[in-house]
Amino acid sequence: MIKILAVTNQKGGVGKTTTTVNLAASLAAIKQRVLLIDLDPQGNATMGSGVEKRDLQCSVYDVLLGNKTIAQARKPAAMGGYDVLPSNRELAGAEIELVDMPRREMRLQESLAAVAEEYDYVLIDCPPALNLLTLNGLCAAKTVMIPMQCEYYALEGLSDLVNTIRKVRANLNPILEIEGLLRTMFDPRNALAQQVSAQLEDHFGDKVYRTVIPRNIRLAEAPSYGVPVLFHDKGSKGTQAYLALAAEMQGIPQKTVAE
C-alpha cells in the first residue's frame, strides 16, 4: 500500500528539504518507487534533485490549479531513481488563487489519486509555514515526519506543530497521524542536544526514529551539486544515516547513526 508522507516543521532550517531529498534517494536505492512533491515555492527540493526550476514548463503550481496532471508535470530526478513534482516561485501565487476554489485544501490529494498505484512512497516537502500549501500537503498525506534539531526552542515549536496536526485531523483529514520525529543536525558532544533528545524519547517513545541524522559537511555540500548525498559521497556519515532511516521505515533493524 502506498505511503504518503508529509515532511513538515513550521520552524525553518531544521533539515526538512535535506531529509525529503535524501530519503527519496535512499528509498529508491532499496528498490522503492518514490515520488517527491516539492510544495515549497523556494524550489530547494527541486534543485537538490537536479531539476532546474527556472526551466520548468509546468510544475506543482499547475497541478494545484487543475491545469495539468501530476503525470504531465513530474520529472525524473537527475540522479537517484525517483520522480519529482517540481516547484518554483510561481507557486507563491497559488496561495491567492486557491482561496476561492472549491475544496481548496484537497487539491493535491485529489490529483494524487490518478498516480497512486505507480508509487510505494510519496514524500511531500512542505514549506516552513502553516498556509494553504502546507494544508494541501497535510490533507494529502497519511502520516507526518517531523525533522527537528535537539535544541530548546525546537521543543516549543514542536508543541505548536502537534496541535496543528490535531486540528487538521479533527477538521480535514481524519486518518492523519505522526509517523515519527527525526533528530537532525545532531552533535552527540553537545550536552543540550543529548538532554533534548532524551526528553523527546521520554515523551514520544517509539514515535522517535532510532536513526539520528548527524551534522555532516557532505550533506551540506550535496545540494550545490544538485544531487542527493548518496551520489556526492556514498561513504559519508550523512549518506549512511539516510540509508539507515530508509531501512528503519521498511522495518529493517538498524543501529542508531549519530557519530
| pLDDT at residue 257 is higher than 60 | no
* pLDDT the model gives residue 4: 98
Q: How far is CA 68 from the centre of its chain?
A: 23
Provide, for the chain, the percentages of residues in helix, strand and coil under a 3-state DSSP scheme, each rounded to the nearest 5. Answer: 50, 15, 35
Q: Which residue do the cell numbers 559519508 mark? A: 236
**Which tens digits make up the pLDDT trace of 92-105?**
988 889 988 999 99
Q: How many angstroms separate the Cα of 73 from the Cα of each of 70, 105, 108, 128?
A: 5, 20, 13, 23
Average pLDDT (129-135) is 91
Burial of 257 (0-12, 13-18, 19+ CB in 10 A): buried
Average pLDDT (173-193) is 92
Confidence class for position 258, pLDDT limits 50, 70, 90: very low
Confidence class for position 120, pLDDT limits 50, 70, 90: very high
Q: Which residue do the cell numbers 535537539 mark? A: 150
**Which tens digits make up the pLDDT trace of 139-159?**
999 999 999 988 877 777 788
Burial of 180 (0-12, 13-18, 19+ CB in 10 A): buried
Query: What is the architecture of the domain spanning 7-249?
Result: 3-Layer(aba) Sandwich (3.40)
**Which tens digits make up the pLDDT trace of 7-40?**
999 888 889 999 999 999 999 999 999 999 999 9
Confidence class for position 253, pLDDT limits 50, 70, 90: low
Return the domain boundaries, the chain. Answer: 7-249
* pLDDT the model gives residue 201: 92
* Three-class secondary structure of residue 167 per DSSP: helix
**Which tens digits make up the pLDDT trace of 55-85?**
999 999 999 999 999 999 999 999 889 999 9
CA pair distance 27, 18, nearest whole angstrom = 14
* pLDDT the model gives residue 153: 78
The structure's pTM equals: 0.94
Confidence class for position 170, pLDDT limits 50, 70, 90: very high
Burial of 17 (0-12, 13-18, 19+ CB in 10 A): buried
Q: How many angstroms separate the Cα of 56 from the Cα of each of 6, 88, 110, 244?
A: 23, 8, 23, 33
Confidence class for position 256, pLDDT limits 50, 70, 90: very low
